[in-house]
Amino acid sequence: MPATVLVLVETINDYLPILEHQGFHLILAPTPAERAEAISRHSGQIDAVLTRGPLGLYADEIAALPNLKIICVIGAGYEHVDLQAAADRNITVTNGAGVNASSVADHAMAMLLSLVRDVPRCDAAVRRGEWPKIMRPSLAGKRLGILGLGAVGMAIAKRAANGFDMTVSYHNRQHRSDVPYSFCSTPTELARASDFLIVATPGGLTTKHLINRHVLEALGSKGFLVNIARASVIVTTDLVNALEQRRIAGAALDVFDSEPHVPDTLKALTNVILTPHVAGLSPEATQGTVELVGRNLVAFFSNQPVLTPIALPPAMSSVAG
């Protein structure tokens, strides 16, 4: 009997035949109401769940799925998947780290270019029949700081260094000896050494609010910030204050605390570019992501090791013992 996969992701429908051709039975539930109904109606049938970081899978939902064996997360982030609940049930969790790195890096550089060169304002002026001579900084030869040098951070670094002759620095949990970029021991040190700061680190408790007012002050009034990671990495009120008071030059944001809601204070600012969490979305990235999910599912249900496992915490039963 084919395994049944509950699909919570709303952006991959065109590529779901990849999974169907591999023999999986899919239940689509992209809205909160459909999600709750599917879990209630099909609880005993669901063997796997396909989700993404912001959508997650919560402890009560895991408890309601007695036959759940594997959770597949598209993209790198899995911040709203309850790993403890999965560990307590010995449920495997996988992610899609690295598959959409090129798409995210492209978007990060596009946002940086648009922000620094003020492309939206230039476009709007021409559409109004104006012809202003707006003078803005160049990217070439500048200092780029990257918070999080994983697959996405590396893709950004290569574009910046090779395409724009930028000097690249980074902050990571650990220094990397395999890269030619300068390591900074704290986010504040990284900001101080940067003209532009791009946030590319995963979300979750370990990175929550790494970017606060002290980091923004270190970036300075001529510095620009881009976030294509998770909104939780930045203290939003500190960012809004810094933008309003021009203590940083501008910000480009693809992620927000309560998506799809975007604070009116951000939308009112003229030194901000906003996009609707689309950095990782491209036909190439989406197809690659679903193909990886398929390989992980096939491996798991064939009793083979999955390709991209997430390390889980110890099960509470083993800790208690």
Q: Is 244 a catalytic residue?
A: no
Contact by Cβ (8 Å): 179, 157 = yes
Q: Which H/E stretch holds residue 102?
A: helix 101-116
Selecting among 37, 244, 259, 284, the annotated active-site residue is 259
Phi then psi dihedrals of residue 307, to 5 deg: -80, -35
Selecting among 277, 284, 291, 295, the annotated active-site residue is 277
Contact by Cβ (8 Å): 185, 213 = no
d(CA 1, CA 159): 47
Q: Is 175 a catalytic residue?
A: no
Q: Which residue reads 């959508």 in tokens?
A: 55
Q: Is 121 a catalytic residue?
A: no
Q: How distant is the alpha carbon of residue 260 from its chain centre?
A: 15
Phi then psi dihedrals of residue 74, to 5 deg: -80, 145
Selecting among 35, 107, 159, 230, the annotated active-site residue is 230
Neighbours of 18 (CB within 10 A): 15
Beta strands per DSSP E along 44-181:
48-52, 70-74, 92-94, 143-147, 167-171
The catalytic site residues sit at 230, 259, 277
